[in-house]
Chains A and B, each alone.
Chain A
Amino acid sequence: MQAFLDTLLGDAAGLERQLGYLAGMVVFGAVVVFGFVLPFAGIVTWAERRIWARIQSRVGPNRVGPFGFLQWLADGVKNILKEDIIPTVADRPLFRFAPYVVMVGFVGAFVCVPFSGDLIIADLNIGILYITAVTSLVVVGILMAGWSSNNRWSLLGGIRAATQIISYEIPASLAIFPAVLLSGTLSMQGIIGEQGAAPWQWHMFHSPFTLLGFGLFFTAALAEGNRTPFDLAEAESELVAGFATEYSGMRSTLFFMAEWGNLYVIGALVTTLYLGGWQVPQFTYNPVLMNLAQVGVFMGKSLACVFFMIWLRATLPRVRVDQLMAMCWKYMVPLAMLSVLGTATMMVALPNGSHTLRMATFAVVVGVVIRFAFKVRFHLKRARKLDYTSLSPGASQGLSS
């Protein structure tokens, strides 16, 4: 980003140059937020509903636009037009302020989320630390929402969210360390720069310890993002809608936008730390083409993670509060420690890394993935054999539409 601005600013110097940087970043930030983050949060809701529908033998939204693609837009417009109800007994200032805090915490993360080698709003040297810090703001917002609604379900949801997110930040932060240790930097671009384009050059496959770190980070990130199986904060069947129970109209939309947009943040973080980020082989020296390819690869990996999270949500039941906490403190934190210490030991013992170990880890993961894919294929084929319409006697007589 800086290099790109340099070419634009030419020979301006001093304050003018700094102001130029500032303007450039604000513009790029606005483009990212309004052109990518907010629509993306909407589109994910559509994607999630379509994918769920496919998994659940339903049709899903298919009326607005091709394949119902514009459903998210219609929902957004509907929510903006809806009445914004604030309960009389609610703490008005806090109640109105909470969604913005959540939104800030979520959008703030995009400052450091890279899109390609050159496209990043600001490549802070403390990038990953900044993201962990700023996403914690979400807890404050959720707690505010839960408290200010003056509703017991909201309060329970808010408290649950706070305990859960704060607890899971520990394994999540610890699981970041293996990648940071390997790269020797906190900067997002730096971490990606240390990895290679080939899958076995990713941090994930450095050693079994980093593989463990990857799994822990993904799980903890799910919990931090309030996603199934850790969606206790707004567990519909228990807490009605958790902290968002009293919210209506655009304010509740903001909460949900943050939640679904967060999927991409989680995907991007996992991609950056462990999945090689935007790394592509140097196939051309044209910077535009290179960047496009990098954006494609980064998006592809992140969206694969998002898809995986949606898939999980459609499959798994929800854990209970005490089980959630036990899992965090009894299993994930010690394992995350093990992952950090193991990686550090590996780095001391084998300063240049072991190619054999890398390839072995890679081979094991590939084996597991292939086996899993076969299982999925088996189930898909079995499911396709049953023709449900012919089985239904009503349909054969043209009774059901």
Chain B
Amino acid sequence: MSVELEVHDSQGLATEEMTLNMGPQHPSTHGVLRFIVKADGEVMRRAIPDIGYLHRSIEKIAEKVGWHGFMPYTDRVDYVAAMACNQGWAMAAERLADIEVPRRGEYCRVIAAELSRICSHLLGVGAMGMDLGAITPFTHAIREREMIMDLIEELCGARLTFNYMRIGGVAWDLPHGYVEKVSHYLDHFEPVIEEFNQLLGLNRIYVKRLADVATVDADMAIAWGLVGPNLRGSGVDFDVRRDIPYSVYEDFDFDVPVGSGEMGTTGDCWDRYIVRIREMDESMRILRQALAGIPEGPVIARVPRNFKPPVGDVHVKIEAPRGEQSWYVSSDGSEYPHRVHIRTGSFTAMGIIDRLSRGLMIADLVAVIASMDIVAPEVDR
């Protein structure tokens, strides 16, 4: 970790650079993150991420608790958007054992996952405003998120760690009158996004803080393995839901918002912000279609309690709110998975931060972390 860089001022005199320890306890590192910032005054030379503070051995735990038992643990992979992790695990196990999920179950999954996505993006963009000093958008986002939490609570009884999905479907069918409730909520939520843009996204100071800051062009984004909104913010038109369809996403008609440098260069912080805002709109479109087209029938397939998938490896990709989440699961035919590996969006985003932050101001580091929507538990697992 000891990277010493010579710092020279305009006269060529060597000065001492300052090492700042940003985190693990810092108001805007979104959990327990640490950056070792080498700064020359306010200008950063490097920002070295130090990860691992939230490592909980989730992948190792999977090898000890069995296929069904691991489902509650997946909630903790990314507790801001737990539905996606649920879905990833369920899909991996189903693909190994070749289980067909009933259509109503898949629709329930899509509804839950998209609600969870809106929830996660709201927290992401709200916290982004907070990090840049605007406190009101955060509380407005949390207010909306609270109502989605209530909806999800009605669905599965939990507000944060849902544990809603099961191998073969979902645990519970939609409650009575749920479709109307969600539609009613979406009607309410639609103008809120516009309000949010008025309050935060198009605010001149906010745009000035984000436009042209930490630009990642398309090639660089692909080279550094960025995924999800961070990748699309750089102008790469790729969404797992559309390009490698899973679940019932083929049934729905939705656009993939891509950053186009409206306020500055393509791939700057503002693009990553606006992609998340627009994704909420698209999630609402998907939700409306799913609510309208949900078929009758069972929600869960018959899966033996003593679940033993055949020997084999499987690689499943899903589009989580923080980007493409890859689940690599290996089975040795026993009641415990042989090996589980999760590749998450925040982890890859962490890698590029050091590169991006060189030459930026310390205040920009906060903007970069926020625009990448990094959630610490997802980095470390």
Say if the beta carbon of A213 comes within 8 Å of chain B: no
Jot down 19 A-B pairs with beta carbons below 8 A, ordered by A.
Answer: A57-B140, A152-B18, A153-B20, A160-B42, A232-B363, A235-B133, A235-B363, A238-B363, A238-B366, A239-B362, A314-B135, A316-B203, A317-B132, A318-B132, A318-B133, A320-B363, A321-B361, A393-B151, A399-B150
Tell me if A388 and B130 are in contact (CB < 8 A): no
Give the chain B neighbours of A400 by CB distance below 8 A.
150
A322 within 8 A of B: yes
Output the least CB separation between A290 and chain B (Å).
41
20 A-B pairs besides A238-B363, A317-B209, A318-B205 with CB distance below 8 A are A55-B136, A56-B140, A57-B143, A232-B363, A236-B27, A237-B366, A238-B366, A316-B134, A316-B205, A317-B129, A317-B200, A317-B203, A318-B134, A318-B363, A391-B184, A392-B146, A392-B147, A392-B150, A393-B154, A395-B150
Q: Measured between C-beta atoms, what is the minimum distance from A397 to chain B in Å?
A: 8
Residue of B20, B133, B203 most packed against chain A (CB within 10 A): B133
Residues of A within 8 A of B146 (CB): 392
Also in contact, A56 and B136, with CB within 8 A (given A318-B205, A320-B209, A394-B150): yes
Q: Which residues of A contact B203 (CB under 8 A)?
A: 316-317
Secondary structure type dominating chain A contacts: helix
Task: Give complex CA distance A288, B42 in Å.
Answer: 55
Task: Find the B residue at minimum CB distance from A231.
Answer: B133
Chain B CB count within 10 A is highest, among A52, A229, A238, A316, for A238
A50 to chain B minimum Cβ distance, whole angstroms, is: 14
Residues of B contacting A394 with CB < 8 Å?
150, 153-154
8 Å CB interface, A303-342 against B: 313-323
| Interface pair A391/B20, CB less than 8 Å apart | no
Q: In the complex, A285 Cα to B279 Cα: how many Å?
A: 68
Are A391 and B185 in contact (CB-based, < 8 A)?
A: yes
Distance between B117 CB and nearest chain A CB, rounded to angstroms: 19
Secondary structure of the B side of the interface? Answer: helix
Could you mark each residue 262-295 of chain A with 1 if its beta carbon is under 8 Å from any beta carbon of chain B, else 0?
0000000000000000000000000000000000
For the complex, what is the distance from the CA of A319 to the CA of B132, rounded to whole Å? 8
Which chain B positions have C-beta within 8 A of A139? none
In contact, A240 and B209 (Cβ under 8 angstroms): no
Q: Is the CB of A391 within 8 A of B205?
A: no
Q: Which of B136, B153, B364 contacts A315 (CB 8 A)?
A: B136
The 6 residue pairs across chains A and B that have the minimum distance between CB atoms: A318-B133, A394-B150, A56-B139, A237-B28, A317-B134, A317-B132
Tell me the B residues contacting A by CB distance below 8 Å: 18, 20-21, 26-28, 42, 129-136, 139-140, 143, 146-147, 150-151, 153-154, 181, 184-185, 188, 199-200, 203, 205-206, 208-209, 361-364, 366
- Cβ-based interface call for A149 (8 A): no
CB distance from A60 to the nearest CB of B (A): 11
**A164 to B146, alpha carbons, bound, how many Å?**
39
Chain B residues with Cβ below 8 Å from A319 are: 205, 208-209
- Between B143, B188, B205, B208, the greatest number of chain A beta carbons within 10 A of the residue's beta carbon is seen for B205
